[in-house]
Structure 1
Amino acid sequence: MAGAALGLVLAFSGLSGAIAADITPPDKAFAQPVGSDYFLANYTAYEAYLKTLAGQSDRMKLVDIGKTEEGRTMWVAIVSSPANLAKLDRYKEIARKLAKADGVREDEARKLAAEGKAIVWIDAGLHASETITSQGQIQVLYRMLTQTDPETLRMLDDTIILFGQDNPDGMEMVSDWYMRNQDPKKREFGSLPRLYHKYIGHDNNRDSFMSSMAETTNVNRQLFREWYPQIIYNQHQTGPNGMVVFVPPFRDPFNFNYDPLVMTELQEVGMAMHSRLVAEDKPGSGARSAAPYSTWHNGMERSVAYFHNSIGLLTEIIGGPTPTTVNLVPELQLPGNDRPAPIAPREWHLQDSLDYQWTMNRAVIDYASRNKERLLLGIWKMGDNSIKRGSKDSWTTTPTRVEALAAAGKDKPGPYGAAIDPGLYKTVLQTPESRDPRGYVIPADQADMPTVVAFLNALIKTGVDVDKATKPFAIAGKTYPAGSYVVRTAQAYRPHILDMFEPQDHPHDLEYPGGPPKAPYDVTGYTLAYQMGIKFDRILDGFEAPTTRVPDLISVAPGAVKGSGGAGWLISHEANASFTLTNRLLKAGARVYWVKDGAKAGKTAFGPGAIFVPASPAAKAVIDKGVKDLGIDAYAVGGKPSGATIALKPIRVGLVDVYGGSMPSGWNRWMFEKFEAPFQVVYPQRLDAGDIGKDFDVLVFPDGVVPAPADGPYKAGRGGPQPKPEAIPAQYRSWLGRISDDKTLPQIADFVKGGGTVVAIGASTRLAQALGAPIDVATAKMENGQLKALSTRELYIPGSVLRAKVDVKQPLAYGSGPDIDVFFDRSPTFTIKAEAKGVAKVSWFDSDKPLHSGWAVGQERLKGSADMLDIDVGKGKVFVFGPEITQRAQSWGTFKFLFNGLLYGPAVSGK
Structure 2
Amino acid sequence: MAYGQKIREYTTEPFFLTPLIDHLPVSKTVPTPEKFFGHVTGAPNILTYSKPLADYLRALEKASPRVHVISMGPSEEGREMVVALISDADNLSHLSDIKRMNGRLADPRGLQEAEAQALLKRTVPMYWLTGAMHAPESGPPEMLMELAYRLAVSEEPNIKTIRKNSIVMITPVLDTDGRDRAVDVYRYRKANPGKAPIPLVYWGKYVAHDDNRDGMTLALKMSKALTKTWLEYHPQVMHDLHESVPFLYISTGTGPYNAWIDPITVSEWQDLAYEEIEQLTKANVPGVWTHGFFDGWAANYGKTVADGHNAIGRFYETFSAGGADTGIRSTGSASTREWYRPNPPFPSVRWSLRDNVNLSESGILVALHKVASEKDRYLQNFYLKSKRAVAKGRTEGPGAWVFPSNDPARKRQAMLLKLLQSHGIEIQRLDEAANLDGQSIPRGSYVVRMDQPYSRMADMLLDTQYYKPSDPRSYDDTGWSLGPLFDVKTWRIKDPAILDRQMSPSPDITMIESDAPRLTKPLRIALVHTWTNTQDEGWARLALEGMKVPYDYLSVHAIRDNADLRAKYDLILIPQTGGSAQSLVNGIPKVGDPIPWRPTPEYPNLGGPDATDDIRGGLELAGVANLQKFAREGGTLVCVGNAARMPIDYGLVSGVSITPPQALNAPGGVYLTTKEDAESPLLKGYGANLAGYFNMNTMPILSTGGGSGQGRGGAPERASGRGSLTDPDVIQGRPPYTPKAKPGDVPENDSPRNQGDRPRVLLRFAGRDQVMVSGMIDHPEELAGKPALIDCPTGKGHIVLFAINPFWRGQTVGSYQLVLNAAEWVKP
- Measured in 1, the distance between the counterparts of 2:598 and 2:263 equals 54
- Measured in 2, the distance between the counterparts of 1:659 and 1:557 equals 38
Cα separation, partners in 2 of 1:454 and 1:867, compared to 1, 3 Å:
same
Structure 2 letter corresponding to 1:800: G
Candidates 759, 781, 799, aligned match of 2:668: 799
Candidates 659, 664, 669, aligned match of 2:531: 659
Cα separation, partners in 2 of 1:145 and 1:718, compared to 1, 3 Å:
farther
Identity %: 21
Paired residues of 1:180 and 1:187 also in contact (CA < 8 A): no
Candidates 474, 492, 505, aligned match of 2:434: 474
Candidates 475, 480, 484, aligned match of 1:521: 475
Cα separation, partners in 2 of 1:141 and 1:687, compared to 1, 3 Å:
same
Candidates 797, 820, 827, aligned match of 1:899: 820
Cα separation, partners in 2 of 1:729 and 1:212, compared to 1, 3 Å:
closer
Cα separation, partners in 2 of 1:805 and 1:92, compared to 1, 3 Å:
same
Candidates 483, 486, 501, aligned match of 2:447: 486
Candidates 234, 239, 244, aligned match of 2:240: 234
- Measured in 2, the distance between the counterparts of 1:114 and 1:842 equals 63
Paired residues of 1:870 and 1:878 also in contact (CA < 8 A): yes
Paired residues of 1:122 and 1:162 also in contact (CA < 8 A): yes
Question: Which residue number corresponds to residue 459 of structure 1?
Answer: 420
What's the CA shift for 1:276?
2.6
- Measured in 2, the distance between the counterparts of 1:688 and 1:295 equals 43
Q: Quick check: 1:874 aligned with 2:746?
A: no
Question: Which residue number corresponds to residue 861 of structure 1?
Answer: 782
Candidates 745, 750, 767, aligned match of 2:629: 750
Question: Which residue number corresponds to residue 222 of structure 2?
Answer: 215
Question: Which residue number corresponds to residue 167 of structure 1?
Answer: 175
Write the deviation string for residues 614-659 of structure 1: whole angstroms up to 9, x where unpaired. xxxxxxxxxxxxxxxxxxxxxxxxxxxxxxxxxxxx3222211122
- Measured in 1, the distance between the counterparts of 2:157 and 2:589 equals 51
- Measured in 1, the distance between the counterparts of 2:766 and 2:594 equals 53
Candidates 376, 391, 397, aligned match of 2:379: 376
- Measured in 2, the distance between the counterparts of 1:893 and 1:729 equals 35
Candidates 221, 243, 248, aligned match of 2:251: 248
The within-5 A match list for 1:215-614 is: 215-223=222-230, 225-239=231-245, 243-289=246-292, 291=293, 293-318=294-319, 319=321, 320-327=323-330, 329=332, 332=335, 334=337, 336-343=339-346, 345-392=348-395, 394=396, 436-469=397-430, 471-476=431-436, 480=441, 483-509=444-470, 519-541=473-495, 542-543=497-498, 544-551=500-507, 554=508, 556-557=510-511, 572=514, 574-576=515-517, 578-579=518-519, 582=520, 586=521
Which 10-residue stretch deviates more, 14-23 or 520-529?
14-23
- Measured in 2, the distance between the counterparts of 1:774 and 1:333 equals 49
- Measured in 2, the distance between the counterparts of 1:824 and 1:100 equals 37
Write the deviation string for residues 863-902 of structure 1: whole angstroms up to 9, x where unpaired. 3322111211122210111111111121001110011112
Which 10-residue stretch deviates more, 751-760 or 538-547?
538-547
The within-5 A match list for 1:33-112 is: 33-112=40-119
Cα separation, partners in 2 of 1:461 and 1:330, compared to 1, 3 Å:
closer
Structure 1 letter corresponding to 2:184: D
Q: Quick check: 1:685 aligned with 2:557?
A: yes
Paired residues of 2:18 and 2:362 also in contact (CA < 8 A): no
Which 10-residue stretch deviates more, 181-190 or 120-129?
181-190
Cα separation, partners in 2 of 1:345 and 1:839, compared to 1, 3 Å:
closer
What's the CA shift for 1:803?
1.3
What's the CA shift for 1:842?
1.5
Which 10-residue stretch deviates more, 443-452 or 88-97?
443-452
- Measured in 1, the distance between the counterparts of 2:116 and 2:341 equals 36
Q: Quick check: 1:700 aligned with 2:573?
A: yes
Paired residues of 1:828 and 1:867 also in contact (CA < 8 A): no
- Measured in 2, the distance between the counterparts of 1:852 and 1:311 equals 29
- Measured in 2, the distance between the counterparts of 1:47 and 1:86 equals 22
Candidates 146, 149, 155, aligned match of 2:153: 146
Which 10-residue stretch deviates more, 488-497 or 177-186?
177-186
Write the deviation string for residues 758-785 of structure 1: whole angstroms up to 9, x where unpaired. 10111211134233423344x62xxxxx
Question: Which residue number corresponds to residue 591 of structure 1?
Answer: none
Give 3-state SS (helix, strand or coil) of 1:790's partner: coil
Question: Which residue number corresponds to residue 845 of structure 1?
Answer: 765
Question: Which residue number corresponds to residue 763 of structure 1?
Answer: 642
What's the CA shift for 1:717?
10
Question: Which residue number corresponds to residue 122 of structure 2?
Answer: 115
Paired residues of 2:101 and 2:119 also in contact (CA < 8 A): yes
Candidates 776, 779, 790, aligned match of 2:661: 790
Structure 2 letter corresponding to 1:665: E
Question: Which residue number corresponds to residue 669 of structure 1?
Answer: 541
Paired residues of 1:278 and 1:341 also in contact (CA < 8 A): no
Which 10-residue stretch deviates more, 743-752 or 182-191?
182-191
Cα separation, partners in 2 of 1:739 and 1:140, compared to 1, 3 Å:
same
- Measured in 2, the distance between the counterparts of 1:888 and 1:449 equals 21
The within-5 A match list for 1:18-29 is: 18-29=25-36
Give 3-state SS (helix, strand or coil) of 2:477's partner: coil
The within-5 A match list for 1:826-845 is: 826=696, 827-834=699-706, 837-845=757-765
- Measured in 2, the distance between the counterparts of 1:822 and 1:188 equals 40
The within-5 A match list for 1:609-620 is: none
Which 10-residue stretch deviates more, 105-114 or 530-539?
105-114
What's the CA shift for 1:176?
2.8
Give 3-state SS (helix, strand or coil) of 1:526's partner: coil
Give 3-state SS (helix, strand or coil) of 2:255's partner: strand
Question: Which residue number corresponds to residue 773 of structure 1?
Answer: 653
Structure 1 letter corresponding to 2:403: I
What's the CA shift for 1:549?
2.9
Question: Which residue number corresponds to residue 811 of structure 2?
Answer: 890
Cα separation, partners in 2 of 1:366 and 1:722, compared to 1, 3 Å:
farther
Aligned-pair RMSD on alpha carbons? 2.8
What's the CA shift for 1:501?
1.5
Q: What TM-score do you get using the length of structure 2 for normalisation?
A: 0.85
Give 3-state SS (helix, strand or coil) of 1:886's partner: coil
Paired residues of 1:16 and 1:149 also in contact (CA < 8 A): no
Structure 1 letter corresponding to 2:290: A
Question: Which residue number corresponds to residue 810 of structure 1?
Answer: 680
What's the CA shift for 1:825?
0.8
Cα separation, partners in 2 of 1:59 and 1:379, compared to 1, 3 Å:
same
Structure 1 letter corresponding to 2:661: L
Q: What TM-score do you get using the length of structure 1 for normalisation?
A: 0.77
Cα separation, partners in 2 of 1:88 and 1:880, compared to 1, 3 Å:
same
Structure 1 letter corresponding to 2:543: M
Give 3-state SS (helix, strand or coil) of 1:237's partner: strand
Paired residues of 2:654 and 2:758 also in contact (CA < 8 A): no
What's the CA shift for 1:339?
3.9
- Aligned residues, how many? 750
- Measured in 2, the distance between the counterparts of 1:756 and 1:376 equals 61
- Measured in 2, the distance between the counterparts of 1:678 and 1:695 equals 14
Write the deviation string for residues 437-487 of structure 1: whole angstroms up to 9, x where unpaired. 200121233223232222122222222222234x44323386655643210
- Measured in 1, the distance between the counterparts of 2:190 and 2:786 equals 56
Write the deviation string for residues 807-847 of structure 1: whole angstroms up to 9, x where unpaired. 44311111222211111111434343256754332211342
- Measured in 1, the distance between the counterparts of 2:493 and 2:272 equals 37
- Measured in 2, the distance between the counterparts of 1:159 and 1:188 equals 48
- Measured in 2, the distance between the counterparts of 1:14 and 1:873 equals 66
Give 3-state SS (helix, strand or coil) of 1:877's partner: strand
Give 3-state SS (helix, strand or coil) of 2:809's partner: helix
